Each structure stands twice: as structure tokens, then as C-alpha cells.
Chains A and B, each alone.
Chain A
Amino acid sequence: LLGVPGTSVEKNITLDRRTRIELSCRLDNKYSHLKSLQVTWKRGNETVRHINKTETSWSIQLRILDNSKLGSYSCTLKGEEEISAIFNLQVPKIEGKEKPIVSYEGDTAVMICKSFGYTPIAWAWYMTNGSEQIAINDTLLANKYVINRISANVTHMKILKLTKEDNGVYWCEAAFELGKSKGKLKLKVLSLMVPLKPFLAIVAEVVILVTIIFLYEMYSKKKEKSA
């Protein structure tokens, strides 16, 4: 990571399985004149020892074996000025949908979560009830929820016979070797009356316009005949 004095640089690194990784901070050539630099690598408050040093770079090697090793690692170069760079080691992010999925009472809703590039070990779905997250067990409620793993990276949940209570936030969770990652989806269940109102309004408008046009035509024909 190349840094400029007085600023902070950040980089995100995505890891989905156990691995060894080397993080290094390198000072750009034009700043090599800065003397007496003290470099520290930290994770939170913990300092990491075993820094491999060369003339212009300082690096650490990490063995990431479980979730506890993930997080933000920072290297700080203290000289006359302080330069720091942060590496964020994290599990792959799962994207849900920002916009709510709209469906209707009695209909089926289909929710899909995808993982891009990384294959999760397992998927799980949760429903939010108040502030709690309740796991959705599709074997228990087989006529309400159907969960399918369409492909390695895609999970599919169908909610059947929707009711108003099914409104709310749902979470799809992907489990990786190094931790879990969640995606958020919103479901909105509407009654059939909701689209019916604009529908009837537009139909009324059409009928009114057609009537006006035909009346005008009859009026102008009468005018023509009498003229």
C-alpha cells in the first residue's frame, strides 16, 4: 500500500477460506529521505510483532484460520509526520435487494440471494420479528416456505400463500469458512385493492374521454346539418 504523509489509506480484502496472507506497507521513493521512522502494525489495540523489514517496506505475514483473525489491520509509520494505512480483512459480502419486493395476498413471493465469486458452505434464511431474528425452517413449515439452493452461489426462498403478516425484513445468511455474511431483503405484501384503485380511475378517464369525443362529434354533425 502506497501512502502519502498526513493521509490515511484504506484497502478492503475479501477472504472466504483459510489462507496465509502478507500485508505490506511501502513508502514511496520521494519520501525515503524521512529519517528515523518507527513502524507499528496493529489490529485494534493489539500490536503485531514479527515485522519483516526491508529498506522501504514493512510487512507482516498472517495465518487466517478463523473469524477471530479477521478485522482491520493498520500499519503506522511515525516520523516527523504520521502516515497510516488500513487493511480490512473481511468475509465476502452478500447483496440483498435495496428496493422492497412487492407481492400480493395469496400470491407467492420469491426471494433470491447471490454470492459473487465466492461459494458459501451453507445458506440460511431469517425473518425479523420485532427485533429478533428467527430462523426459517422449511422442513417444519413446508407448505409455507420452500428453500432451494439453485446453484452453488445462489439461494432461493419461496414464500407461499402470502398474508399481511409476512410483511417485513428478511435476511439470507451465507456461511463461509471464516465467518458468516448477511444480505437484507424487504417484502411488501399488498392487498388487491391497492392497484385496483388506479386501474378504475384510468378506466373511468377513458370512458369519460370517449363519451366526450362522441358527443362532440354528434353535436358538430347536427350543427353541420342545420347550417
Chain B
Amino acid sequence: PPPATTGQAPGPPDGGWGWAVVFGAFISIGFAYAFPKGLAIFFKEIQDFFGTSYSEIAWVSSIMLATTYGAGPISSILVNRYGSRPVVIFGGLLCGIGMVSAAFCTSILQLYICVGFITGFGLALNLQPSVIIIGKYFLKRRPIANGLAMAGSPVMLCTLAPLNQFLFDNFGWRGSFLILGAILLNCCVAGALFRPIGPSTVSVKTQMTEEGKSALKEEVTEDAMEMSSSTNVPMESKTEEEGGKDCCEKINQYLDFSLFKHRGFLIYLIGNVLMFLGFFAPIVFLAPYAKHIGIDEYSAAFLLSILAIVDMIARPTTGIIANSKWVRPRIQYFFSFSIAFNGTCHLLCPLASGYTGLVVYSVFFGLAFGMVCAMLFETLMDLVGAARFTSAVGLVTIAECCTILLGPPIGGTLIDTFGDYKYMFIKCGAVMVLAGTFLFIMNYYNYRMLAKEKERNVKWDPKEDPVRTENDGKNNRNRETARDGPELEPLREEREGLKKEVNGT
């Protein structure tokens, strides 16, 4: 009988339970991104209570953000070892414990630890696995799934902001932290939805692993260790079910540092690290800028609401556009375009005069922001492939961690030195246009190299054509596998080596 009636075998299901997973990721990602921002409402009161300065309170947010991004590699390692579900459930529990203990804090230092580190780490264990599991459940419809899941961030922010205000008015900051701890436990519910996918039944499994291996052969990698770690992914479940072999040795293979030799990965890394220097600062300073040019507090807050609403709509829409057959093969260009578009918005912002100008800017900014965020992980998945995405996302987030933290303070210094917001906008706009252009040019080069390699690949290994043409749904994957294959020539021997290995088992 043909394998995988469940649709799990040749490729990801692209639907069915996948949509429940998208919903879980929506919640998880929403909390991870929106929660640190939503906490700002409590800061004034906490500042008064502990008698500290504003910058000391702001550290709580910074530590939380730094931990969420910095703990990325740890998250990746854990997912590689245990799968997404246990990690997310554990992360949800950590968040809950962190916030509940924060409710009983008696000093600002304890707040740094409970809210900053513990909750931040819990959120990190939520963010990465959610993104990873989408890559496992979707292929053809992955951009839509990514767009929908990332839409969790603005939706959660719009929900959390008034909710936090309500909690604060009724329960004070301690009671609010207690209740927020309980709310964060809902991440465990999201985690429960992350049903592990992969070979689950014994009969299908052996056929699956055969096909998995042959499919992975096409997924060209840099070196043999790389290859064996990818084949370990379908084999891993076998070992788990058989009772586990030497786990410790394999942990070293779980964070794939050889990605640094991957051309696509490097391009993505450099472009994104550059982009994040100018990504978040405009949002942080939008409301202060509005107040600076004379707009009242509520209208200034409303600008952020407009941004969030446009963002909410933009993300799934971008997902749908990115999934269309015209854009999907050239998704990297679309991504670079949206970054450059974002940068242009910032460059034009100082020209906006008055409230209407700022509203227009907020709309375009929301649109651009949503576009970039929706495709942030999709493009990485596209470049490195689902198997190595786990490690890739961990390495990318820790690299981005530095620039994300640096962005707003640099913007703040510019504002303080020149006394004018426009230099901050110009700096952010310039950095992003630069990042967008860099990505555009480098990806053009990358696409050409991949096309050349694909030609060589086709000529070189005709035996694998039947496997390729077998499944229509695999076409995208093939294009993708060809994409994550740089330097094909020197790997020929390793591929030979692998073939022997596969045939031997």
C-alpha cells in the first residue's frame, strides 16, 4: 500500500491539524512579542513604588527582550532534542512561575530576575518552537501559515494593552502580575496543540525513513556531519521509541554551526542584523514624537493603535501574497522590497506635518512593518530548508539580539544630542534601505548561483528525477532544496559517502 495516507510521509500536511497548530503558534508568538510591550503600563506605578528612576525600570523590559532573543539557541537545542511540544509547555509554565513570583517581589532586583530573566526565558521557549513547528506542518501554504501566526503579535498587543490597564485599575500591579501569570499559562494550551509530526506508526515509518533519506539526499548540505544530523531527524524518533541511544553525543549536533558556511544563511543574517538596527526605534519613539510636535496624549496613543490594526491585516495578507505562484519563487526579492519600503517610510516621516501626516505615516508604517514581520521567518525557512531551520532560527535570534537592544538607545541618543526627532527617523530609514538593497543584490546573486547549481544537479544525478517528479507538491520543496545547496561540486564525494551509508542501513 502506498505510504502516508495521513499525508505525513512525503511532505508536510499543509492543512488539517496544521491549522490548529497555526492557532497555537498565533497565541504563543503573540505573547512572546506583545507581552514585553504590554508591561510598560505598569512601569510608572512600579517606579513610584520602589522609588527608582525611569531607566532602572526600563531595564526590566530590556532584560526580558534580551533573554527572549538571546535564549534562542538554547530553545533550538531543546527543540532539536525534545520536539516543540514539551518545550512550549515548559516555557508556558516558566512564564507563569516568573510572573507569579514577580507579584511578591520586594525589590527592583528581584523584578529583574522574575520578570526579566525567568519570564523572558519562558517566552523564548515559546517563540522559537512555534515558528519551527509551522515549518514542519506546512510547505505549500507555509507563507500563509507564517503570516497568520505572526499576526498574533499585533492582535495580542491590542488585547493586552487595555486588559493590562483594566487589571491595573482593579488589582494594582501586584494583583495584575499574579493574574498575568495565569494568563501566560495559556501558552501551555498552545503547546498542547503542537502535536509532534513525523513518523509515528511503525509500518509507515520504515518506508518513511527511506523516502525521508532519499528526499534529504536532495537537500544538499555542506558536510557529512551536517548530513548525518539531518538524517538523524527522521531516525531520531525511531531511537526515541526504541529507548534512546547515546543522546549526549548527538546534542553537539543539535545546534548546527555549519550554517555559517551556508551562503543563504549568511546573507539573511547580515541583512537582518543590519535591519534590526532601525526596526524598532520608530515604534518606540512614535508617540513621544507626536507629543513633541504638539499632539495630545490620546491621539498619539491612537497612532499606535492605527499601526497595530493595519499591521494585523497586513500580516496574513502578505502571507497570501507571498504564497502566490508569482511571488513565492522570488520571495526574497519581496522581502527586500518590504524592508526598503519600510525604510523609505521612515525617511519620509520628517516631511509629515501635523496629525494627518502622521496618520498617513502610521498606516504605511503599519503596512510595511506587517509585511516584514510576516516574512521574517518564512524567508529564513525558504533559504535553509525545514530541517535546518531549527538551528538557524536560534543562531539568527542571538545575533539579532544585540542590534535589537542597541536600536532604540541609539535612536534615543540621536534625539537627545540633536534635540530633533528627524535624525532618528533618517538614521532608521537609511539603515533599512541599506539593508533592503543589500538583501536584494545578494539574493539576486544567490538565486543565480542556485539556478546554476540546479542545472548541474539535474545533469549530474538523473537517477533521482523519478523521485522528484513523483509528487507535485514536492516541486516547491525541490526548488527549495536546490536553493539551500551552495557549493555543490566539492560535496559530490560526501554525497557518494552518504549513499553508501543509506544503502548500508
- Spell out A's residues near B (CB within 8 Å): 99, 101-104, 107-108, 110, 112, 156, 190, 194-196, 198-200, 202-203, 206, 209-210, 213-214, 217, 224-225
- Shortest distance from the beta carbon of A225 to any chain B beta carbon, whole Å: 8
- Shortest distance from the beta carbon of B24 to any chain A beta carbon, whole Å: 9
Q: Chain A contacts of B294 at CB under 8 A?
A: none
- Counting chain B CB atoms within 10 Å of each CB, the highest count among A102, A194, A217 belongs to A102
Of B164-172, B353-361, B448-456, the segment with at least 4 beta carbons within 8 Å of chain A is: B164-172
Question: What residue of chain A has the Cβ atom nearest to residue B6's Cβ?
Answer: A224
| Interface flag for B49 (CB, 8 Å) | yes
Q: What are 6 residue pairs bridging A and B, where the CB atoms are less than 8 Å apart in the complex?
A: A101-B172, A103-B174, A112-B48, A199-B178, A202-B179, A203-B182
Q: Chain A contacts of B192 at CB under 8 A?
A: 209-210, 213-214
- Minimum-distance CB pairs A-B, first 4: A102-B172, A195-B175, A202-B182, A213-B192
In contact, A199 and B182 (Cβ under 8 angstroms):
yes
Instruction: Give the contacting residue for B189; candidates A99, A200, A210; CB below 8 A.
Output: A210
Q: Besides A108-B49, A199-B179, 5 other CB < 8 A contacts?
A: A102-B168, A102-B169, A102-B172, A195-B174, A210-B188
Known: A104-B175, A209-B192. Contact between A199 and B181, CB under 8 A? yes
Q: Chain B contacts of A110 at CB under 8 A?
A: 48-49, 51
Q: Chain A contacts of B171 at CB under 8 A?
A: 102, 190, 194-195
- Shortest distance from the beta carbon of A97 to any chain B beta carbon, whole Å: 10
Question: What residue of chain A has the Cβ atom nearest to residue B103's Cβ?
Answer: A195
Q: Chain A contacts of B178 at CB under 8 A?
A: 195-196, 199
- Shortest distance from the beta carbon of A116 to any chain B beta carbon, whole Å: 16
Instruction: Give the contacting residue for B185; candidates A102, A194, A202; CB below 8 A.
Output: A202
Question: What residue of chain B has the Cβ atom nearest to residue A103's Cβ?
Answer: B172
| Interface flag for B84 (CB, 8 Å) | no
Q: Chain A contacts of B168 at CB under 8 A?
A: 102
Q: Chain A contacts of B351 at CB under 8 A?
A: none
Provide the bound-state CA to CA distance between A69 and B29, in Å: 63
Interface size on B, residues (CB 8 A): 25
- Shortest distance from the beta carbon of B468 to any chain A beta carbon, whole Å: 29
Provide the bound-state CA to CA distance between A214 and B49, in Å: 43
Instruction: Give the contacting residue for B195; candidates A196, A198, A217; CB below 8 A.
Output: A217
| Interface flag for B183 (CB, 8 Å) | yes
| Interface flag for B379 (CB, 8 Å) | no
In contact, B174 and A203 (Cβ under 8 angstroms):
no
Q: Chain A contacts of B201 at CB under 8 A?
A: 225
A-contacting residues, B157-211, CB 8 Å: 168-172, 174-176, 178-179, 181-183, 185-186, 188-189, 192-193, 195, 201
Provide the bound-state CA to CA distance between A125 and B439, in Å: 62
In contact, B195 and A202 (Cβ under 8 angstroms):
no
Interface string of B302-342 (1 = CB under 8 A from A): 00000000000000000000000000000000000000000
- Shortest distance from the beta carbon of A197 to any chain B beta carbon, whole Å: 10
Provide the bound-state CA to CA distance between A203 and B179, in Å: 9
Provide the bound-state CA to CA distance between A200 and B185, in Å: 11
Q: Chain A contacts of B183 at CB under 8 A?
A: 202
Provide the bound-state CA to CA distance between A190 and B170, in Å: 10
In contact, B169 and A198 (Cβ under 8 angstroms):
no
Q: Chain A contacts of B186 at CB under 8 A?
A: 202, 206, 209
Provide the bound-state CA to CA distance between A156 and B170, in Å: 23
Interface string of B371-393 (1 = CB under 8 A from A): 00000000000000000000000
Provide the bound-state CA to CA distance between A213 and B192, in Å: 7
Question: What residue of chain B has the Cβ atom nearest to residue A148's Cβ?
Answer: B51
Question: What residue of chain A has the Cβ atom nearest to residue B182's Cβ?
Answer: A202
In contact, B170 and A102 (Cβ under 8 angstroms):
yes
- Counting chain B CB atoms within 10 Å of each CB, the highest count among A101, A112, A213 belongs to A213
Question: What residue of chain A has the Cβ atom nearest to residue B175's Cβ?
Answer: A195
In contact, B169 and A195 (Cβ under 8 angstroms):
no
Q: Chain B contacts of A198 at CB under 8 A?
A: 179, 182
A-contacting residues, B71-97, CB 8 Å: none
- Counting chain B CB atoms within 10 Å of each CB, the highest count among A108, A110, A198, A199 belongs to A199
Interface string of B1-31 (1 = CB under 8 A from A): 0000010000000000000000000000000
Provide the bound-state CA to CA distance between A146 and B365, in Å: 48
Provide the bound-state CA to CA distance between A101 and B51, in Å: 16
Q: Chain A contacts of B189 at CB under 8 A?
A: 206, 209-210, 213
Known: A210-B189, A217-B195. Contact between A99 and B169, CB under 8 A? yes
Q: Chain A contacts of B172 at CB under 8 A?
A: 101-104, 190
Provide the bound-state CA to CA distance between A210 and B192, in Å: 6
Instruction: Give the contacting residue for B174; candidates A104, A210, A217; CB below 8 A.
Output: A104
Question: What residue of chain B has the Cβ atom nearest to residue A227's Cβ?
Answer: B5
Provide the bound-state CA to CA distance between A146 and B175, in Å: 24
A-contacting residues, B124-157, CB 8 Å: none
Known: A107-B174, A194-B171, A199-B178. Contact between A206 and B185, CB under 8 A? yes
Q: Chain B contacts of A202 at CB under 8 A?
A: 179, 182-183, 185-186
Q: Chain A contacts of B169 at CB under 8 A?
A: 99, 102
Q: Chain B contacts of A225 at CB under 8 A?
A: 201
Q: Chain B contacts of A195 at CB under 8 A?
A: 171, 174-176, 178-179
Provide the bound-state CA to CA distance between A217 and B195, in Å: 8
Question: What residue of chain B has the Cβ atom nearest to residue A212's Cβ?
Answer: B192
- Shortest distance from the beta carbon of B327 to any chain A beta carbon, whole Å: 35
A-contacting residues, B38-85, CB 8 Å: 48-49, 51
Q: Chain A contacts of B170 at CB under 8 A?
A: 102
In contact, A194 and B182 (Cβ under 8 angstroms):
no
Q: Chain B contacts of A199 at CB under 8 A?
A: 178-179, 181-182
Question: What residue of chain A has the Cβ atom nearest to residue B186's Cβ?
Answer: A206
Provide the bound-state CA to CA distance between A200 and B100, in Å: 12
- Shortest distance from the beta carbon of B117 to any chain A beta carbon, whole Å: 22
Provide the bound-state CA to CA distance between A217 and B40, in Å: 39
Provide the bound-state CA to CA distance between A196 and B178, in Å: 8
Provide the bound-state CA to CA distance between A209 and B182, in Å: 14
Question: What residue of chain B has the Cβ atom nearest to residue A210's Cβ?
Answer: B192
Q: Chain B contacts of A200 at CB under 8 A?
A: 182
Provide the bound-state CA to CA distance between A178 and B175, in Å: 42
Provide the bound-state CA to CA distance between A202 and B183, in Å: 7
Provide the bound-state CA to CA distance between A104 and B201, in Å: 55
Provide the bound-state CA to CA distance between A137 and B476, in Å: 77
Q: Chain A contacts of B174 at CB under 8 A?
A: 103-104, 107, 195
- Counting chain B CB atoms within 10 Å of each CB, the highest count among A112, A190, A200, A206 belongs to A206
Provide the bound-state CA to CA distance between A202 and B184, in Å: 10
- Counting chain A CB atoms within 10 Å of each CB, the highest count among B179, B182, B193 belongs to B182
Provide the bound-state CA to CA distance between A225 and B188, in Å: 27
Provide the bound-state CA to CA distance between A196 and B195, in Å: 32
Question: What residue of chain B has the Cβ atom nearest to residue A199's Cβ?
Answer: B182
